């Protein structure tokens, strides 16, 4: 029998930092689970994939709520990758954002086909990074 997949939710009600462990793989200076919860709470929309009370995947969107949204972060825990969770998270988020004109994100070349299969088009992204701020800790 196949294992049931995780369930999706758009609610952060009752979510604790303990449910948010294991993310930001390969980030040199990752946010703590508390900071992670803070960035989810500051988002316009989030979709979480839950299994046995743990978050195993998430995607967030920030937005003006009028025309445009941006999707900064999508991540599925390594042991859950390749099972359709990322696609399910993105599909649900796109539906949550269907009232908007523009939905943008940036990604590496190898993920272009993943997003194209979700109906997105390829463009250019310009960006800056302040690496000393990567963990999102509150400024002194």
Query: Site residues (CB under 6 A) for ligand COA?
Result: 74-76, 81-87, 107, 110-111, 114
Give 37 or 75: the residue with its C-beta nearer to ligand COA.
75
Q: Shortest approach of ligand COA to residue 38 CB, angstroms?
A: 20
Distance CA 28, CA 68 (A): 30
Distance CA 69, CA 91 (A): 15
Kindly report the three-state secondary structure assignment for every residue of 32-69: CHHHHHHHHHCCCEEEEEEECCEEEEEEEEEECCCCEE
Give 37 or 74: the residue with its C-beta nearer to ligand COA.
74
Q: Shortest approach of ligand COA to residue 85 CB, angstroms?
A: 4
Give 103 or 107: the residue with its C-beta nearer to ligand COA.
107
Q: Shortest approach of ligand COA to residue 91 CB, angstroms?
A: 9
Determine the 3-state secondary structure of 102 from DSSP. strand
- Say what the alpha-carbon torsion angle 27, 62, 51, 16 is, to the nearest 10 degrees: 80
Q: Shortest approach of ligand COA to residue 13 CB, angstroms?
A: 24
Among 60, 92, 56, smallest CA distance to 73 is for: 60
Give 13 or 108: the residue with its C-beta nearer to ligand COA.
108
Measured from each CB, the residue nearest to ligand COA is: 86
């Amino acid at each position: 029998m196949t294992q049931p997949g995780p369930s999706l939710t758009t609610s952060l009600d009752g979510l604790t930092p303990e449910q948010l462990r294991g993310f930001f793989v390969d980030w040199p200076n990752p946010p703590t689970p508390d900071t992670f919860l803070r960035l989810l709470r500051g988002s316009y929309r989030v979709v979480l994939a839950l299994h046995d009370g743990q978050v195993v995947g998430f995607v967030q969107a920030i937005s003006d709520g009028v025309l445009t949204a941006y999707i900064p972060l999508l991540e599925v825990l390594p042991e859950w990758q390749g099972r359709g969770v990322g696609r399910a998270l993105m599909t649900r988020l796109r539906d949550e954002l269907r009232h908007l004109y523009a939905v943008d994100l940036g990604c590496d070349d190898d993920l272009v086909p993943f997003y194209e299969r979700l109906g997105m088009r390829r463009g250019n992204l310009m960006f800056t990074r302040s690496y000393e701020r990567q963990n999102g800790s509150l400024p002194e």
